Amino acid sequence: LAKTTQPISMDSYEGQEVNITCSHNNIATNDYITWYQQFPSQGPRFIIQGYKTKVTNEVASLFIPADRKSSTLSLPRVSLSDTAVYYCLETGGFKTIFGAGTRLFVKA
């Protein structure tokens, strides 16, 4: 059973900023929040990880409020190639649990 809750699907248009929010109602104190991206016929690919506040890399930003009950993955100016499934996870031990993820569809 997934620990996190995220929307099943989202639609966007090219050039828009996309924000995907995940709920972490019972996150463990030592757990990090990690996001993965998965394209069809490929394995998941690590996007970003954080513990608290904001983390930014060349691909995305991750916002985590002080209470850590949620996280928001922000993808700036999406393109058609960002169409994929996005997973949020609580990662601490080795037993990683993936939910069904959010299917993002980017339209021209």
Partner 1 sequence: NAGVTQTPKFQVLKTGQSMTLQCAQDMNHNSMYWYRQDPGMGLRLIYYSASEGTTDKGEVPNGYNVSRLNKREFSLRLESAAPSQTSVYFCASSHGQGGQPQHFGDGTRLSIL
Residues that bind partner 1 (CB under 8 A): 2, 30-32, 34, 41-46, 49, 87, 91-101
Q: How far is the CB of 14 from partner 1 (least distance, A)?
A: 26
CA 35 vs. chain centroid, Å, equals 4
Q: How far is the CB of 92 from partner 1 (least distance, A)?
A: 5
Q: Based on CB atoms, which residue is closest to partner 1, 21 or 31?
A: 31
Tokens of 84: 């994929």
Q: How far is the CB of 73 from partner 1 (least distance, A)?
A: 15
**Distance between start and end Cα atoms, the chain:** 35
How far apart CA 49 and CA 37 sit, in angstroms, is 12
